[in-house]
Amino acid sequence: MGGTIPDAMSAEAADPGHTVRGDGAAGPPPGESASAASGAASPDGNSPSMDPVHNTWLGSVGGIHIKDAAAGEAGSMRVQLGLRFFAGKSFLEEGDRYALAGGAISLSYTLTDYLELFGAIEGQGARHSESSPELLQVLGDIHVGAKGYHRVLPWLALGGDLSLHFLNAVGDLGILARSTGVNLGTNITADLRRLEGQRVPFIARFGAHYRFDNSAKLIDDVESRRFAGLDGETLPGFETRHLVTPSERLALGIQRVDTMNLGLGFEAPFEVTRPDFILAPILEWQWAIPVNRQGYNCPFIADGPGSDRPLGGGDGCLAVQGLKAATMDLTVGLRITPPVRGLSTFLAADIGLTGTRTFVRELSPNLPYAVMLGVAYAYDTRAPVASPGAGVAAAVPVSLPAAARVLIQVNDAGGVAVSGVRLDFDDSDPAAANDDGEGAFYTLASDASGRVVTPLLRPGRYAATLSHPDYAPVSCAFVVPEETQLALEATARAEESGATESNAAAPALRSANLPFPQASLLRVACRLGDRVEAQAEPESAAGGAALTVDVAAEGKPLAQVRITLEAADAQAPRPSTTELLTDSRGRATSEAIAPGSYRLTLSKAGYFDRSMPLVLVAEAPQTVVATLARRPDRAQVKVDARNIIVRRRFSFSTGSSELGDANEPLLFELAEVLRAHPELERVEIQGHTDNVGKADMNLALSQARAEAVRTWLVEQGGVDARRLVARGYGDTRPLVPNLTPTNRRRNRRVNFVPLAP
């Protein structure tokens, strides 16, 4: 939002005192080129980033004057109040004093993904010391229009717009229909903030608009009455005494010809501090090239043979003075977006390059400068939805293909939960095979509550060998049934109980590539064997566990990564923390780490931390391969007034709940934010879909996607599972109507909503 505001007014000079003209959506005001009135548009910023967009002076989204080709998200609305001032001496005549003050209220609304509606109402008052009357006013000129657009590339948009300019009659309030102007134009915008892979804070805008200007109809009656009242002999075709003066043309916005308006603008919106304090320097150039469609015959008598100066001074004619009398402006501005949702302000100045000293009867004079300032507010339906509060969704039974996650509770013979128990699953069972026929080998470890949650498992019999340094090995078997009747309420209750999904790499971590959109959570109890005598072993390489950690980022080894192993069992007779550092190959090794359960954390400045559970076994060397994600220049996740705001969307393949690598940077940032805000004791991960497909499958798919995010945050992000609840809502809570591809894409989302403790 923000922009500049031209003004137009008219008065009947024959009347004493001052006169008032109401006005509508007439052309650019004096001192502002017609291209400023036409403008160009700025894309949304719901970019990948949800970047803010702003009004131009006359309403359409863009810079100060120049429109963007595109607009904001469908359903977004912007309103702006702008003021404009000028004061100077010896501007129109030697020794005169001229002052002008005006303003505009503009509004824009993005109706659909391809259509924006906009409008403005503007007025101004001008005082000239050498005119009679000194004060001329224009009140209520109305501008209304529509802009259509299309993004040919994510960062490149093309658009076109049509607007009407309704002007009030001179000396009266009320639209004079025959003075209505029409503006037709095209716009091109390159918003490099939308580049994939790298956001560049730079926007370039170009606009070309033709203005059918009929504002001269406003003063037809005025000039006719003045002509009829002239004394002495008149010379038809050469008489000029009855014509409106430069002061009147400027105050009333009178142009006797059309204009072809060209505009080029640049904006560099960069974030000064977080969150969302944005400064955007703006530079725009505009040129209004006159076109005499009306065939106006300007009366001109030269003050000498071959001279281009009119006899007796005063106004010249466009055919003689040429383009040096046309309006050309340079606009320099700064738009400020403070960390207050929807609010923005701007300060700018129009600097007249031509038309400020050479005046012709066809054109309104151009101001040497005009200072503009304004404030604006945007309401955007993309804004995060406030938390609906705590509550349990009603049970929704859904019949689905059989698949299950298994909650395994590991206790000793006395029924006491045991942590750090290693579970090795047999990969010889065909039921554990992936779609490609490969065996799926899992090694899991129990958490502090003795719990383990497996990946999705197909129907069949499974067996796991349980091992712990203090207990004799034992086998535990269970069966995933062929048919599963899923109740989402039961799954939610299981998650709320605090079940931890831990999946530790030893020797390899692999989740089955299962196509099921949803799974039940089955419960299994496993009991350990007899307790064995603990044998004291020296903390040496011979009795320790060997660990190798390879760390990479963006496909390259990452050196100087700090690796921390924190013992999961505080009672264990070993150091509670071990630290390693990767070398130039991105590798860290140790052969003298005490066996047991650990939390492995990788950290390096400029990258997101990564945390995962790990079980180390003596004489069983392990290798952990991990990647780190680089922190973005601008935070994508923040907590504001206990709301979790996520600027980016998760990317899922159609019909799939699998989290691809492209989602990892966002997942890492989410995990870090959740770990940094323990006051968010419980968070609901909400899965939502569009309305394409069957409602029950959409419900199941949304639940699976929410669970996939929860699993990653727990297993890879180190977030306490007891804080997270995954729940799918299918297509029951759309943000916007599922009428267009863009709206359906907006409705396919994962939200994070804090719940009451």
Task: Enter the CATH code of domain 637-755.
Answer: 3.30.1330.60
Gap between the Cα atoms of 591 and 578, Å rounded: 12
- Judged by average pLDDT, the poorest of 200-209, 231-240, 319-328, 410-419 is 231-240
Q: Which residue has the higher pLDDT, 323 or 27?
A: 323
pLDDT in the model for residue 14: 32
pLDDT in the model for residue 686: 92
Enter the DSSP assignment of 299: -
Reply yes or no on whether the pLDDT at 681 is more than 50: yes
Domains 397-527 and 545-627 fall in the same CATH topology: yes
Q: Which residue has the higher pLDDT, 21 or 315?
A: 315
SS3 of 194, please?
helix
pLDDT band at 196, cuts 50/70/90? low
| Complete DSSP assignment for 442-492 | -EEE--TTSEEE---B-SEEEEEEEEETTEEEEEEEEEE-SEEEEEHHHHH
pLDDT band at 290, cuts 50/70/90? very high
pLDDT in the model for residue 325: 92
The two tokens of residue 165 are 């300019």
| Complete DSSP assignment for 713-743 | HHHTT---GGGEEEEE-TTSS-SS-TTSHHH
pLDDT in the model for residue 512: 30
pLDDT band at 728, cuts 50/70/90? very high
Reply yes or no on whether the pLDDT at 574 is more than 70: no
The amino acid at 425: F
pLDDT in the model for residue 194: 81
Gap between the Cα atoms of 655 and 62, Å rounded: 37
Residue 133: is the preceding peptide bond cis (ω within 30°)? yes
Reply yes or no on whether the pLDDT at 356 is more than 90: yes
The amino acid at 100: L
Q: How many CB atoms lie within 10 A of CB 306?
A: 5
Gap between the Cα atoms of 84 and 347, Å rounded: 10
Give, in order, the Cα–Cα distances in Å from 348 to each of 270, 288, 364: 18, 20, 22
Share of the chain above pLDDT 90, in %: 29
Share of the chain above pLDDT 70, in %: 76
Among 2.40.110.10, 3.90.1150.10, 2.40.160.40, 3.40.50.11600, name the CATH number for the domain at 19-226+236-379: 2.40.160.40
pLDDT in the model for residue 136: 85
Give, in order, the Cα–Cα distances in Å from 6 to each of 25, 37, 57, 344, 354: 10, 7, 7, 20, 17
Q: Which residue has the higher pLDDT, 674 or 460?
A: 674
CATH architecture of 397-527: Sandwich (2.60)
Angle 126-131-132 from CA coordinates, rounded to 5°: 100
- Judged by average pLDDT, the poorest of 312-326, 336-350, 719-733 is 312-326
pLDDT in the model for residue 80: 96
Tens digits of residue pLDDT in 651-663: 888 788 888 778 8
Among residues 212, 210, 269, 326, which one has the least CA distance to residue 62?
A: 269
pLDDT in the model for residue 293: 94
Gap between the Cα atoms of 331 and 437, Å rounded: 66
Indicate the domain borders of the chain.
Answer: 19-226+236-379, 397-527, 545-627, 637-755
Contact 62/40 with Cβ under 8 angstroms?
A: yes
Give me the sign of the Cα torsion angle 5, 148, 213, 291: positive
pLDDT in the model for residue 502: 36
| Complete DSSP assignment for 634-678 | S-SEEEETTEEEE-S-----TT-----GGGHHHHHHHHHHHHH-T
pLDDT in the model for residue 746: 84
pLDDT in the model for residue 454: 77
Contact 113/410 with Cβ under 8 angstroms?
A: no
Q: Which residue has the higher pLDDT, 21 or 733?
A: 733
Fold designation for 545-627: Immunoglobulin-like (2.60.40)
The two tokens of residue 604 are 């390096």
Q: Which residue has the higher pLDDT, 687 or 664?
A: 687
Average pLDDT of the segment spanning 507-522: 39
Q: Which residues of 646-655 are buried (b: 16+ CB within 10 A; e: fewer)?
A: bbbebebeee
Among residues 77, 52, 68, which one has the least CA distance to residue 647?
A: 52
pLDDT in the model for residue 268: 94
Reply yes or no on whether the pLDDT at 489 is more than 50: no
Contact 3/62 with Cβ under 8 angstroms?
A: yes
Give me the sign of the Cα torsion angle 733, 734, 735, 736: negative
Beta bridge partners of 120: 106, 143
Contact 79/299 with Cβ under 8 angstroms?
A: no
Contact 282/333 with Cβ under 8 angstroms?
A: yes
Query: Is residue 688 exposed (0-12), middle (13-18) or buried (19+ Cβ within 10 Å)?
Result: buried
Beta bridge partners of 728: 687
Tens digits of residue pLDDT in 605-614: 888 888 778 8
Contact 84/101 with Cβ under 8 angstroms?
A: yes
Reply yes or no on whether the pLDDT at 17 is more than 50: no
* Strands lying side by side in the sheet with 422-425: 443-445, 422-425, 460-468, 471-480
The two tokens of residue 519 are 């799974």
pTM: 0.52
